[in-house]
């Protein structure tokens, strides 16, 4: 049986709505106090909330945002006396809205929409019980389900950003709302930042829920926590980090995984310009450089094909064009691949590049290596 909670401060309207629902064989409870109702949502676990938009203290829109932030996984239908509130209702991802006085025909329309959404969600869960969640922070913030090559669609760029911020904190960590407002909405005053924070988390949770992803940001006191209940989650940035800090040596059993991460690298959060993104980008860039050099050292130890090593070197040079040790390594590889002609071409290109960019000549050690190769 479908379960509904009616939150409406006008007692007569509340009772009328509950009676209509019960007549349609729906289990319904009513609350006239929004705070009391909020405290009981996770206890009663309704499939749908019928919320009056205009209520004293905590209005329906705020209650919806708080409910989603606290992990509510059901639907929301707003009740309002004014059609002008419709757009506000859908701002927090409501399924529907009803105008007062509530007519049975309109109520049944909403009930049918709730049932269809509930059936679709149950089908998705049963048809894909062991799905893999792949999250990419390289470049943009993308989330893939299973083997799909199409990322889910974030409602707003801030939804994606706050998801990435919470993800990178790692662990069972509560982040204060003040820190989130400062990091994500540093350009807003406290009141506007608070509104943006609550509505963004509401949209984010709605997006994850509609895609049947058991990940959410929950409200805990004056803070929030990222709860990941999915069993199979892969994050490319974390795999890169593992390359640097994992004590397991690179071997013939795992080098392909390392190579794949290094080869697909793009600076994380490249599409975002908040200050915290620049800091995270710098940290993971250092991980990339260290990881790429670690992989290169392994390839050198097993005398891998020069072209394979040169591929890794070119990726490093793309982001660290002035690294002299890497440039010298590249000279040796060019000699192994194409002989002195290839070395000369590469050296002259590098020489022109560094003169144009830094107005200097190649270092003495690079010149010395270059001349030694030519005189071999």
Q: Tell me the β-bridge partners of 5.
A: 29, 49
The answer to the question of residue 206 being in a domain is: yes
Question: Which tens digits make up the pLDDT trace of 144-165?
Answer: 998 888 999 998 999 999 999 9
Six-digit token string for 316: 């490093």
Is 171 contained in some domain? yes
Same domain, 114 and 160: no
Of 79, 102, 127, at which residue does a domain stop? 127
At residue 214 the predicted structure's pLDDT band, cuts being 50, 70 and 90, is confident
Helices and strands (H, E) in the chain, number of each type: 14, 11
Q: Is pLDDT above 70 for 91?
A: no
Q: Which residues contact 276 (CB under 8 A, 6 or more apart)?
A: 165, 183, 184
Report whether pLDDT(72) > 90.
no
Residue 156 and residue 227 in one domain: yes
Give the Å distances, CA to CA, from 89 to 13, 49, 269, 351: 19, 13, 31, 62
Least confident range of 10-19, 47-56, 127-136, 325-334 = 127-136
Q: What is the CATH number of the domain that holds 117?
A: 3.40.50.2300
Integer angstrom CA distances of residue 248 from 232, 251, 283: 22, 9, 21
Q: How many CB atoms are located within 10 Å of the residue 107 CB?
A: 21
Q: Note whether 239 and 188 are within 8 A (CB).
A: no
Expressed as residue numbers, the domain containing 173 is: 130-304
Do residue 253 and residue 345 come from a single domain?
no
The model's pTM: 0.69
DSSP string, 227-263: EE--S-EEEHHHHHHHHHH--SPP-TTTHHHHHHHHH
93 pLDDT higher than 70: no
Distance (Å) of CA 21 to CA 28, 55, 108: 7, 21, 9
The residue among 127, 155, 178 that closes a domain is 127
Residue 42 makes CB contacts below 8 A (sequence gap 6+) with 70, 71, 72
SS3 assignment, position 275: helix
The 3 state secondary structure assigned to 180-197 is HHHHHCCCCCHHHHHHHH
CA distances in angstroms from 185 to 192, 222, 241, 270, listed in the order given: 9, 17, 28, 18
pLDDT in tens, 263-298: 999 999 999 999 999 999 999 999 999 999 999 999
Number of domains in the chain: 3
Same domain for 116 and 144?
Answer: no
CA dihedral for 168, 173, 177, 178, sign (positive or negative): negative
Banded pLDDT at 199 (limits 50, 70, 90): confident
Q: Are residues 156 and 184 in the same domain?
A: yes
- The whole-number average pLDDT for the span 11-32 is 94
Task: Note the pLDDT tens digit of each residue in 110-127.
Answer: 999 888 877 766 555 544
């Amino acid at each position: 049986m479908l379960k509904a909670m009616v939150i409406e401060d006008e007692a007569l309207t509340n009772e009328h709505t509950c009676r209509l629902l019960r007549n349609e064989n729906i289990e319904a409870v009513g609350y006239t106090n929004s705070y009391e109702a909020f405290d009981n949502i996770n206890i009663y676990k309704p499939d749908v909330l019928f919320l009056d938009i205009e209520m004293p203290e905590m209005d329906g829109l705020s209650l919806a945002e708080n409910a989603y932030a606290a992990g509510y996984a059901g639907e929301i239908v707003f009740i309002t006396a004014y059609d002008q509130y419709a757009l506000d209702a859908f701002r927090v991802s409501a399924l529907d809205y009803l105008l007062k006085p509530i007519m049975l025909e309109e109520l049944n329309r909403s009930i049918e929409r709730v049932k269809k959404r509930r059936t679709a969600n149950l089908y998705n869960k049963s048809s894909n019980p062991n799905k893999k969640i792949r999250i990419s922070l390289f470049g943009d913030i993308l989330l893939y389900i299973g083997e799909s090559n199409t990322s889910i669609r974030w409602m707003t760029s801030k939804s994606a950003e706050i998801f990435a911020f919470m993800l990178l904190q790692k662990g069972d960590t509560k982040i204060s709302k003040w820190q989130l407002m400062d990091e994500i909405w540093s350009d807003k005053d406290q009141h506007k930042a608070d509104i943006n924070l609550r509505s963004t988390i509401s949209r984010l949770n709605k997006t994850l829920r509609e895609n049947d992803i058991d990940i959410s940001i929950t409200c805990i006191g004056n803070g929030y926590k990222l709860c990941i209940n999915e069993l199979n989650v892969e994050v490319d940035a974390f795999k890169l980090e593992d390359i640097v800090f994992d004590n397991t040596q690179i071997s013939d059993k795992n080098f392909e995984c390392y190579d794949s991460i290094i080869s697909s690298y793009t600076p994380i959060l490249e599409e975002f310009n908040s200050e915290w993104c620049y800091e995270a980008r710098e940290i993971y860039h250092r991980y990339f450089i260290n990881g790429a050099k670690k992989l290169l050292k392994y390839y050198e130890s097993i005398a891998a094909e020069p072209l394979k090593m040169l591929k890794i070197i070119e990726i490093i040079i793309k982001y660290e064009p002035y690294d002299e040790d890497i440039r010298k390594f590249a000279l040796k590889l060019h000699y192994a691949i194409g002989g002195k002609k290839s070395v000369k071409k590469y050296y002259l290109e590098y020489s022109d590049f560094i003169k144009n960019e830094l107005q200097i000549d190649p270092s003495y050690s690079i010149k010395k290596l270059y001349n030694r190769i030519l005189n071999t």
